[in-house]
């Protein structure tokens, strides 16, 4: 059947448009895709179908890729956590379109797993909750937690940058990035970047914002001049230092009141850049030779310094004026000379003339310094050395020849004894044994809050009722009482050729025995050992420690001695 002229005209137009479309498509696609289409393809539609086959997708492969991306996602703390959770939710919706369902609860667990370590407390809080969160609730809580962490990090960074407790330089943020930079670029960035405002073109010392911030906040760090003269300097002399920004004292002598340094004041930096610890900050009062009292407020107590320093800048701020000349200086207040001083040639420092015998102290505490007593035969000294024993016992030691002649002229009322040995009632008299090892008193004292140097917190004592001779053993636990008693029994038995007949103790578990499940107290190892050795145990009644008063009184005496010595030494 022959075509009509109109059909032939339409076919020619279509053929021309088809060839033009194929030419345009071939020129618009990369050359690597042109060879994949066979020359037999003559229409533009077939050509596009062949190209589409090259980009055919597999639902299984796409689902596997999306699932792998979802599982391997980790939040690095950069960007917004809301957008991060929404991106994970978007992947879940794509998997749902591929007929791979993931529940909302599973998505919440995957989100929590992908969060970094700083969200561990947040994860624990979620696991402790009985109610389950929706995805929107999780996003809201995560945003709040991230805001809280950013605020805490800002406060800690500000504290670290202002305190400079260790004086260390700031480390590089990313070592890998620093290593990737060239040496010239790295050197240029270090020289031209401000570490305060993080802008280039100037350094921190030239930063206007830094100087404005320091003027607003004040000077946290005090740089002082430090001299290393090895000559002996009296601790009660005061020296002028024009380079010191604060007053320095080497001791608490002459301090009216003091306080502990804050976190910004605990360290000061000397001229060589080293940090020195500050013990306290106090108010000192000096008596000048003119009779004028010079008050030095906010004075730093630094025991590691060798001399007391007075800051010239502090005197100027306190309305004092200093004039120097002819190796002398004068201190004036309201145009009146209130103090003088002189220049020492070997120190090249000006020494302030003060009354060294003046020592006004209103609210100071001793810091455990050793006390020097010239009279080594002082009765008060030996009373304290022997654990604050009574005067009669010291005289008995003298009569027995154990101690030499002691001077009791300065033996007055011992305040530490009154504090450490106060009592409510007198001890009643008790029965006394007729021979050694006839009756042994024993008890365990502790635990004490401060252990010994090797971790022992208890002590057990064995006292002979006849001679009152006592043995004391330090133990870690009460369960060691039997082992210690065995050693004590063997030692005293060999030394005295006698055997222990009675042992008096309380009804504690370490002596009598522990309670079983029925609530009854069963004999323990200590009791069974006494029965095997033929020793008769004597147990006190519950709530009646006076029945074993010998060992209780000895424990109290030992603790009184320790408390009195601690009170005298001002230890904590």
At 379 the three-state DSSP class reads: helix
Q: 64 and 25: one domain?
A: no
In a domain, 42, yes or no: yes
Q: Are residues 133 and 243 in the same domain?
A: no
What is the Cβ-side half-sphere exposure of residue 158, based on CA atoms within 13 angstroms?
A: 8
Structure-block tokens of residue 192: 């031209």
CA distance 460 to 440: 13
pLDDT of amino acid 565: 83
Q: Extract the tokens encoding 472.
A: 């004391």
CA atoms within 13 A on the CB side of 114: 21
Shared-domain flag, residues 79 and 50: no
- Give the CATH number for residue 311: 2.40.70
How does strand 328-333 pair with strand 349-352?
unpaired
DSSP of 400-466: TTSS---B-TT----HHHHHHS--SSPPPP----SSTTSEEEEEEE---SS--TTS--EEEEEEETT
The predicted pLDDT at position 172 comes to 46
Per DSSP, helices labelled H in 55-119 are: 59-72, 81-97, 104-114
* Percent of all residues in the chain with a pLDDT value above 70, rounded to a whole number: 82
- Is residue 343 located within the same domain as residue 329? yes
What 3-state class would DSSP assign to 286? Answer: strand
Q: Which of 241, 358, 342, 351 minimizes the C-alpha distance to 300?
A: 241
Residues 154, 243, single domain; the answer is: no
Residue 551 lies in a domain: yes
Establish if 195 belongs to a structural domain: no
Tell me if 377 is assigned to some domain: no
> In tens digits, what is the pLDDT along the chain, a chain of 572 residues?
677 888 888 888 888 888 888 888 888 887 777 777 777 778 888 888 887 777 766 677 778 888 888 888 888 877 788 888 888 888 888 888 887 888 888 888 888 888 888 888 888 878 877 778 888 888 888 888 888 877 776 555 555 555 544 444 444 445 444 455 555 454 454 556 888 888 888 888 788 888 777 766 554 444 444 444 444 577 788 888 888 888 988 888 778 888 888 877 888 877 767 788 888 898 888 888 888 888 888 899 988 888 888 988 888 888 888 888 888 888 888 888 888 888 886 667 888 888 875 544 444 343 444 444 446 777 788 888 888 888 888 888 888 878 877 877 777 778 778 777 776 555 555 578 889 999 999 999 989 888 888 889 999 999 999 999 999 999 999 889 999 999 999 999 999 999 999 999 998 888 888 777 677 778 889 999 999 999 999 988 888 888 888 888 888 888 888 888 888 876 65
How many whole angstroms from its chain centre is CA 554? 39
If residue 472 lies in a helix (H) or strand (E), which one and from where to where? Answer: strand 470-475
Q: What Rg value do the Cα atoms of the chain yield, rounded?
A: 44
Please give the pLDDT value at position 487. Answer: 93
What domain range includes position 233?
A: 227-352
d(CA 59, CA 67): 12
- Cα–Cα distance, 470 to 442 (Å, whole number): 10
pLDDT of residue 230: 42
* Same-domain status, 36 and 118: no
327 domain residue, yes or no: yes
Could you give phi then psi for residue 162, rounded to 5 degrees?
-95, -35
Same domain flag for 337 and 231: yes
Q: Which residues pair with 284 in a beta bridge?
A: 255, 296
SS3 percent helix, strand, coil of the chain, rounded to 5, is 40, 20, 40
Among 290, 318, 352, which residue terminates a domain?
352
Looking at the structure, do residues 64 and 155 belong to the same domain, yes or no?
A: yes
Same domain, 48 and 95: no
H-helix or E-strand spanning residue 502: strand 502-505
Instruction: Quote the pLDDT of residue 365.
Output: 41
- Other C-beta atoms closer than 10 Å to the C-beta of 426 total 6
Omega before 292 cis (within 30°)?
A: no
Residue 512, domain CATH: 3.30.420.10
Q: Cα–Cα distance between 160 and 429 in angstroms, integer?
A: 66
Q: Which of 66, 44, 47 is nearest to 57 (CA)?
A: 66
Same domain? 238 vs 279: yes
Pairing mode of beta strands 536-539, 336-344? unpaired
Show which of 328, 352, 376 is a domain's final residue: 352
Spatial CA neighbour of 250 closest among 294, 285, 287, 301: 301
Number of domains in the chain: 4
Which residues lie closer than 8 Å to 163 by C-beta, 6 or more apart? Answer: 220, 263, 264, 267
The edge-to-edge listing of strands for the beta sheet with 336-344 is 255-259, 280-287, 293-301, 248-249, 308-311, 238-241, 349-352, 336-344, 328-333, 320-325
Residue 430 within a domain: no
Q: Are residues 303 and 260 located together in one domain of the fold?
A: yes
Out of 108, 125, 159, pick the residue that ends a domain.
159
Closest CA to 118 of 83, 164, 153, 94: 153
pLDDT at 412: 72
In eight-state DSSP terms, residue 478 is G
Quick check: 192 and 203 in contact, CB under 8 A? Answer: yes
Residue burial 124-158, b: 16+ Cβ < 10 Å; e: rest: eeeeeeeeebebeebbeebeebbeeeeeeeeeeee
**pTM for the whole structure:** 0.31
Which residues are bridge partners to 296 per DSSP? 284
> Do 240 and 136 sit in the same domain of this protein?
no
Q: Is residue 539 part of a domain?
A: yes
Q: Token pair 């107590």 is at which residue?
A: 301
Whether residue 279 lies inside any domain: the answer is yes
């Amino acid at each position: 059947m022959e075509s009509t002229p109109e059909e032939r005209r339409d076919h020619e137009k279509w053929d021309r448009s088809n060839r033009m479309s194929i030419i345009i498509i071939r020129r618009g696609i990369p050359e690597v895709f042109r060879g994949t289409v066979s020359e037999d393809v003559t229409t533009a539609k077939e050509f596009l179908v062949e190209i589409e086959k090259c980009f055919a997708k597999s639902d299984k492969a796409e689902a596997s890729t999306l699932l792998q991306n979802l599982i391997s996602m980790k939040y690095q703390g950069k960007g917004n956590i809301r957008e991060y959770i929404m991106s994970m939710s978007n992947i879940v919706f794509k998997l749902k379109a591929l007929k791979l369902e993931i529940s909302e609860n599973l998505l919440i667990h995957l989100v929590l797993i992908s969060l970094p370590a700083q969200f561990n407390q947040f994860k624990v809080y979620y696991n402790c909750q009985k109610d389950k969160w929706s995805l929107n609730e999780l996003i809201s809580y995560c945003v709040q937690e991230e805001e809280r962490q950013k605020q805490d990090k800002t406060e800690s960074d500000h504290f670290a940058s202002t305190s400079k407790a260790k004086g260390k330089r700031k480390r590089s943020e990313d070592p890998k990035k620093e290593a990737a930079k060239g040496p010239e670029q790295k050197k240029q960035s270090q020289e031209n970047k401000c570490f305060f405002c993080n802008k280039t073109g100037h350094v921190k010392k030239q930063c206007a914002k830094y100087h404005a911030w320091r003027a607003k906040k004040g000077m946290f760090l005090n740089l002082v001049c430090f001299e290393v003269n090895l000559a002996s300097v009296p601790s009660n002399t005061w020296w002028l230092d024009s380079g010191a920004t604060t007053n320095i004292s080497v001791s608490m002598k002459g301090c009216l009141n003091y306080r502990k340094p804050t976190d910004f004041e605990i360290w000061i930096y000397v001229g060589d850049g080293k940090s020195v610890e500050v013990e306290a900050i106090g108010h000192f009062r000096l008596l000048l030779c003119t009779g004028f009292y010079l008050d030095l407020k906010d004075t730093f107590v630094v025991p590691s310094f060798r001399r007391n320093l007075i800051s010239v800048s502090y005197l100027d701020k306190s309305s004092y004026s200093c004039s120097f000349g002819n190796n002398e200086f004068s201190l004036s207040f309201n145009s009146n000379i209130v103090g003088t001083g002189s220049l020492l040639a070997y120190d090249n420092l000006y020494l302030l003339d003060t009354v060294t015998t003046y020592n006004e102290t209103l609210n100071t505490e001793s810091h455990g310094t050793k006390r020097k007593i010239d009279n080594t035969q002082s009765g008060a000294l030996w009373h304290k050395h022997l654990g604050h024993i009574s005067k009669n016992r010291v005289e008995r030691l003298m009569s027995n020849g154990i101690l030499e002649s002691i001077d009791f002229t300065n033996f007055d009322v011992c305040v530490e004894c009154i504090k450490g040995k106060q009592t409510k009632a007198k001890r009643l008299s008790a029965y006394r044994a007729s021979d050694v090892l006839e009756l042994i008193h024993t008890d365990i004292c502790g635990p004490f809050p401060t252990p010994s140097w090797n971790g022992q917190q208890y002590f057990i004592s064995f006292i002979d009722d006849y001679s009152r001779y006592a043995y004391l053993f330090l133990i870690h636990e009460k369960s060691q009482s039997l082992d210690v008693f065995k050693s004590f029994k063997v030692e005293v038995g060999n030394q005295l050729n006698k055997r222990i007949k009675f042992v008096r103790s309380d009804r504690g578990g370490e002596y009598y025995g522990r309670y079983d499940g029925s609530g009854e107290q069963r004999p323990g190892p200590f009791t069974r050992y006494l029965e095997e050795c033929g020793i008769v145990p004597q147990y006190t009644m519950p709530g009646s420690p006076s029945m074993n008063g010998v060992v209780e009184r000895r424990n109290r005496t030992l603790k009184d001695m320790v408390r009195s010595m601690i009170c005298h030494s001002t230890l904590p």
